[in-house]
C-alpha cells in the first residue's frame, strides 16, 4: 500500500481537514465544554451519582442536546478518560529515557506537577479509580487494563536499565513498578482529599529520590 504524504495532498484537502470552522468549530467547542462539565461532576459525585441532565444544564443544553454529542453516559465517561490519557501521553511519554533511571523518575515527578495543574481532572480520576473496583462500573475494565499496562511498561523500562547496569543487579523490577504505581496513586488520593493544600510534586519527588538512591549502583538521587 502506498502512503500519501502530507505534502502530496491537495491544499484544499489539507485545509478542509485541519481547519474546522462554522458549525464544526462550534460543535468542537460544545463537546469541549461538555467534557469539562463532566469532569467537574464526576470529580464531585463520582460516576453513578452524576446526572446527564445536570451536566447538560451546566453547559446550556437539554439531555437530548448532550446525547447528540455523546450517545450515552458511558460514552461520555470514555471520552473523559481518553482526554486525560491523551494529555498525559502528549506531555510525558514521547521521550526516550536512554536507560537513565534518574531521567525516568524525574519525568514521573514532573507528571505529578502537571496533574496538580489540572486538579478537577486529577480528582475525578482518583474518584473513578476507586469506584471502578465495582465490577458493574463501566470503567472497571479500563482501569484493570490501565494498571496492568502501566506495570508492564514500567517493568520493561526498568528491566532494560538493570541490563544496562544503571540499576542494581537483581532488582525486582516488577515489584518496583507496582510499588511506584501504588505510592504515587496513594499520594494523589491524599493530595485530592487535602484539597491541594500540599504539594503532590514535592511529595512524590522526595519518594522517588529515596527510591533512586536505593536501587542505583552509585546511590544517585534525583538531584544528582
**Per-residue pLDDT reduced to its tens digit, 13-35:** 433 444 455 555 667 899 999 99
Q: 212: which 3 cell numbers?
A: 533512586
Q: What is the pTM of this model?
A: 0.76
| CA 200/CA 133 separation, integer angstroms | 24
| CA 105/CA 102 separation, integer angstroms | 5
| CA 107/CA 91 separation, integer angstroms | 10
Q: Per residue in 44-65, pLDDT tens?
A: 899 999 999 999 999 999 999 9
SS3 state at 34: helix
Rounded mean pLDDT, 171-182: 97
Angle in degrees, CA 74, 79, 81, rounded to 5:
95
- Is there a contact between 46 and 128 (Cβ–Cβ < 8 Å)? yes
Q: Is the pLDDT of residue 207 over 90?
A: yes
| CA 108/CA 105 separation, integer angstroms | 5
Specify the residue for cell string 523500562.
157
User: Of 113, 203, 213, 92, whose CA–CA distance to 157 is shortest?
Assistant: 92
User: 117 vs 180, which has greater pLDDT?
Assistant: 180
Amino acid at each position: 500500500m502506498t502512503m500519501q504524504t502530507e505534502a502530496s495532498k491537495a491544499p484544499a484537502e489539507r485545509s478542509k481537514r485541519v481547519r474546522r470552522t462554522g458549525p464544526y468549530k462550534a460543535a468542537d467547542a460544545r463537546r469541549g465544554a461538555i467534557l469539562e462539565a463532566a469532569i467537574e461532576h464526576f470529580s464531585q459525585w463520582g460516576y453513578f451519582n452524576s446526572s446527564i441532565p445536570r451536566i447538560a444544564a451546566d453547559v446550556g443544553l437539554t439531555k437530548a442536546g448532550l446525547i447528540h454529542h455523546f450517545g450515552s453516559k458511558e460514552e461520555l465517561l470514555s471520552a473523559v478518560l481518553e482526554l486525560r490519557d491523551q494529555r498525559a501521553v502528549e506531555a510525558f511519554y514521547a521521550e526516550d529515557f536512554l536507560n537513565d533511571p534518574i531521567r525516568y523518575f524525574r519525568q514521573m515527578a514532573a507528571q505529578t506537577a502537571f496533574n496538580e495543574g489540572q486538579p478537577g481532572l486529577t480528582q475525578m480520576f482518583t474518584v473513578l479509580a476507586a469506584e471502578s473496583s465495582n465490577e458493574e462500573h463501566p470503567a472497571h475494565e479500563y482501569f484493570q487494563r490501565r494498571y496492568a499496562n502501566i506495570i508492564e511498561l514500567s517493568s520493561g523500562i526498568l528491566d532494560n536499565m538493570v541490563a544496562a547496569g544503571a540499576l542494581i543487579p537483581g532488582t525486582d523490577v516488577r515489584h518496583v513498578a507496582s510499588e511506584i504505581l501504588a505510592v504515587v496513586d496513594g499520594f494523589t488520593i491524599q493530595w485530592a482529599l487535602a484539597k491541594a493544600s500540599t504539594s503532590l510534586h514535592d511529595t512524590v519527588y522526595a519518594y522517588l529520590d529515596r527510591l533512586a538512591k536505593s536501587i542505583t549502583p552509585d546511590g544517585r538521587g534525583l538531584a544528582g
